[in-house]
């Protein structure tokens, strides 16, 4: 990892963080595509509420996908870009439930739960390595997504 010395981190730490970021990138990518599917295929009386909300969500996810890939590059790695790689690494699975409002929103909450767990793991790993760049990124994501989970849960009446 050629950049590790330049940015003041140990190479072994960069490798460990990059490996975890690859898993995060895979999960974000599958979540993104699931959300696009929900946006395109949502049906019923909640269409006008959820259709734009899902678009807002996938627009946000694609920005995070880019930030994660760029962080991998910053640490000296090469981000995966094939969906076949993403499907191997991702805990979030491809969704076939993309037209029912309740199922779509529950899938989003479940995906956030996976992401929050991975990001908290990365906070620990990056903190131990002194990697403030990754730590800051993950901290921002966690703060934002905790609020999103609350809002989507409120939509479901939970």
pLDDT single digits (tens) 96-124: 989 999 999 999 999 999 999 999 999 99
Does residue 1 register a pLDDT over 70?
Answer: no
The alpha carbon of 45 is separated from its chain's Cα centroid by a whole number of angstroms, namely 28
Residue length of the chain: 158
Closest CA to 132 of 7, 1, 6, 5: 7
- pLDDT tops 80 at residue 4: no
Q: Are 157 and 44 in contact (CB under 8 A)?
A: no
Average pLDDT, stretch 18-30? 98
Tell me the residue ranges of DSSP E strands in the chain: none
The span from the CA of 37 to the CA of 94, in Å, is: 10
Joined tokens for residue 37: 């599917």
Q: Is residue 130 helix, strand or coil? A: coil
Which pLDDT belongs to residue 158?
Answer: 84
- The token pair at 121 is 């793991």
Burial of 27 from C-beta contacts in 10 A (0-12 / 13-18 / 19+):
buried
Asked whether 55 and 39 are in contact (CB, 8 A), the reply is yes
- pLDDT score of 75: 97
**Per-residue pLDDT at 3:** 73
Tokens of 132: 């403030």
The pLDDT value given to residue 6? 83
Instruction: List the CATH code of the domain at 13-156.
Output: 1.20.1260.10
Tokens 């019923």 sit on residue? 44
- Predicted confidence (pLDDT) at residue 156 exceeds the cutoff of 70: yes
Share of the chain above pLDDT 70, in %: 98
* pLDDT digit string, tens, across residues 65-100: 999 999 999 999 999 999 999 999 999 999 998 999
Distance CA 142, CA 123 (A): 10
Average pLDDT of the residues of the chain: 96
């Amino acid at each position: 990892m050629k950049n590790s010395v330049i940015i003041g981190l140990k190479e072994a730490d960069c490798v460990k963080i990059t490996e975890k970021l690859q898993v995060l990138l895979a999960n974000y990518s599958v979540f993104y595509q699931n959300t696009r599917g929900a946006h395109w295929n949502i049906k019923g009386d909640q269409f006008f509420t959820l259709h734009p909300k899902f678009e807002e969500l996938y627009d946000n996810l694609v920005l995070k996908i880019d930030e994660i890939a760029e962080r991998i590059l910053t640490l000296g790695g090469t981000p995966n870009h094939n969906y076949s790689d993403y499907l191997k690494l991702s805990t979030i699975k491809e969704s076939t439930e993309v037209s029912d409002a309740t199922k779509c929103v529950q899938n989003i909450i479940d995906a956030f739960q996976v992401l929050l767990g991975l990001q908290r793991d990365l906070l620990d790993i990056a903190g131990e390595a002194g990697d403030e760049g990754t730590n800051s990124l993950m901290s921002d994501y966690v703060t934002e997504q905790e609020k999103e989970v609350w809002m989507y849960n409120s939509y479901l009446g939970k």
